[in-house]
Amino acid sequence: MPDFGYFLSQLFNGIKLGSVYAMVAIGYSMVYGILRLINFAHGDIMTVGVYTILVLFTTYGMPLWLTIIISVALSIIVGLTAERVAYRPLRSSGEETTLISSLAVSILIQNIIVMVFSPQRVAFHLPDYLSKLHTFGTVRLSTMNIITFVAVFVILIALSYMIKNTRVGMAMRACSDNMNAARLMGINVTTIIVIAFAIGSALAALSGLMLAGEYKTIDPLMGFVPGLKAFCAAVLGGIGSLGGAVLGGFILGIIEMLFAGLMPTEITPYRDAFVFLVLILVLLIKPNGILGSNEGGRS
């Protein structure tokens, strides 16, 4: 029987992981909320961000803040290019078509990264001031963990405020509610979608840094599974709702770490499968998620 201290530390590991998932899930939800697009490439844009930091920071020794800015900028460019080339031309042909297109974008990005770098896993180290550990009783958190946790809530509050109160936010909600009607109001729907993709991609880059800092190694396929998990988190919390995405991210992270820490070691390698099992259960029991509105399917 594991002792309480161990349980507590696994719980905190779950929160650490959950805050990264939450971060990815917010970006996912931004795009999904407007386009109903399940963007498989979201996680791979995260990988683009991470590799940018790897090259500029680890190899060329640029200051970290500058590499973060460049990484965010490059991720936005990749995200908007995907929108322009792979999603926009298909916008009128249905959600399934863009979903498949996003899968293609995902595979393309992964393979470009494999070609430019190598399929090998490489080490990724944050500077000491970010990876420094702080001990709270049995729990040890790095500076980066604390920053991630705080950042999730700062971003959640900032984006929620924007969506609720600003002109762009109103337009985003209108597009999400009824895109054709939004057009008839004079809203430039394409611009709104581009803004949503830009925000989503920027958040992907930031969450990539957080994920890499946690795993300490990176590889070209690293973004795909966290991308799927972010989607699970968004579904779990109530897709389209940013608060739901954050809640879902934390729940998923905690479930995953408790599973990994408390189950017999023979089955812990199946933790990803377990996470997706949770997704299936949620879809069966509460298809709109914990905080999701009870709307029916959108026509």
Binding residue for another protein, selected from 81, 93, 166, 178, defined by CB under 8 A: 178
Binding residue for another protein, selected from 30, 187, 218, 275, defined by CB under 8 A: 187
Binding residue for another protein, selected from 36, 88, 91, 183, defined by CB under 8 A: 183
- Closer residue to another protein in complex, CB, 123/184: 184
Report, in Å, the least distance between residue 186 CB and another protein: 3
- Closer residue to another protein in complex, CB, 174/198: 174
- Closer residue to another protein in complex, CB, 134/164: 164
Residue 30 within binding range of another protein, rule CB under 8 A: no
Residue 188 within binding range of another protein, rule CB under 8 A: yes
Stretch that binds another protein, among 18-26, 180-188, 223-231, 244-252 (CB under 8 A): 180-188
Contact 255, 14 (CB under 8 A): yes
Report, in Å, the least distance between residue 177 CB and another protein: 4
Residue 265, SS3? coil
For 34-93, the three-class secondary structure string (H helix, E strand, C coil) is HHCCCCCCHHHHHHHHHHHHHHHHHHCCCCHHHHHHHHHHHHHHHHHHHHHHHHHHHHHH
Contact 97, 90 (CB under 8 A): yes
- Closer residue to another protein in complex, CB, 174/195: 174
- Closer residue to another protein in complex, CB, 99/170: 170
Stretch that binds another protein, among 79-87, 185-193, 212-220, 258-266 (CB under 8 A): 185-193
- Closer residue to another protein in complex, CB, 170/194: 170
Provide the residue type at 2 as one letter.
P
**CA 206, CA 49: separation in Å to the nearest integer?**
7
Residue 186 within binding range of another protein, rule CB under 8 A: yes
Report, in Å, the least distance between residue 180 CB and another protein: 6
Q: Binding mask 138-177 vs another protein (x if CB under 8 A, - otherwise)?
A: -----------------------------x--xx-xx--x
- Closer residue to another protein in complex, CB, 138/191: 191
Residues at the site binding another protein, with contacts judged by CB under 8 A:
167, 170-171, 173-174, 177-178, 180-188, 293, 295
